Amino acid sequence: MAVRGLGVAVLLASACLAGVCGDEFSILRSPQSVVFRDGGWPIPGDRIPDVASLFMGFSIEEDLPWPGLAAGDLFHRPRAAVLVTVKGVDKLTLPAKGISYPIENAVPFSLDSVANAIHNLFSEETPVVLQLAPSEERVYMVGKANSVFEDLSVTLRQLRNRLFQDNSILSSLPLNSLSRNNEVDLLFLSELQVLRDIVTLLSRHKHLAKDHSPDLYSLELSGLEEIGKHYGEDSQQFKDASQILVDTLQKFADEMYNLYGGNAVVEMVAVKAFNSPLTRKTRSILQSSQGDTDNPYNLAYPYNYNYSVIFNIILWMMIGLALAVIVISYNLWNMDPGNGCFSSVLLPS
């Protein structure tokens, strides 16, 4: 077994050296109830959403045999999950307190499964779900996010106008070799402005960070990728932008972590380029008619991982009801209405 395990480790290391695991999945901040082991185990790119589902306490359809996430405190789940995806770079120099894992086969992913789980389980409460890609003008809000981030800039025109307001990051952030007059630089800076505005707007609604419903934030930043294409990855502009991004991300992680009272997980994915474009599954109106032809042998449905849970609930509920009926029937059969308190009521004194 030891030789076999060593062989697997050598194969994984060889794959990472060959460039398959060049991208990184990093944990910037996490509470004590969520334990990430520091071992450098590669994580499949399509299983990153499952990691968020597990540490949030949700079930997943397929087991995740990844030793990086340990079994934490089941009774204290994080109140928020924050994932920032940085495109255009496979690694960012993080502080020593962060933990990083190589990504194996970096395919596009989304946190839709986590967002749907939060929406289904906490629809009557006040969850905050925000999925945003500023440069692509892609935004998705659920729950209280519509009111909390009502003033958040989401279009390119709004992002540009926000930068030239009095309280923008241009007045406090050292630009170094970046320019205020270049559209590529402004796009990169506008994404950093979005990170600051999210913290500012959320700090006005701190009560939402203390409720019982979990929150989800998924942000995709591609400004650094555009700077690399425009100036080159060996340029001073790209180096300065990378350092500014690292400092901003760490500050953003600390502020989000503190807003949730130290009970939030802040993750970062640094990916040079995804291996394939992201395609979202849609349901066709012809799906019911096509299903009959796809299954001509009338085979059973695939196994559902919730089957064992439902089976145990129904089994023990039926056993409990059967025992209750037996006990009640036994007591009714042996009841003597002529004794005790009934005699004073039924018989004259």
Q: What is the pLDDT of residues 198-253, one digit of tens each?
A: 999 999 888 888 788 899 999 999 999 999 999 999 999 999 999 999 999 999 99
Question: Could you tell me the CA-to-CA distances from 196 to 160, 173, 334 in Å, in that order?
Answer: 15, 12, 74
Kindly state the tokens that stand for 186.
């402004």
Q: Tens of pLDDT along 117-133?
A: 888 888 777 788 999 99
In a domain, 303, yes or no: no
Q: What CA dihedral angle connects 217, 223, 225 and 230, to 10 degrees?
A: 170
Q: Tens of pLDDT along 28-54?
A: 999 988 989 888 899 999 999 999 999
Domain that holds residue 130: 19-271
Structurally, how many domains does the chain consist of? 1
Nearest to 111 by CA among 50, 63, 61, 157: 50
Cβ atoms 23, 106 nearer than 8 A: yes
In a domain, 267, yes or no: yes
Whole-model pTM: value is 0.72
In a domain, 307, yes or no: no
In a domain, 308, yes or no: no
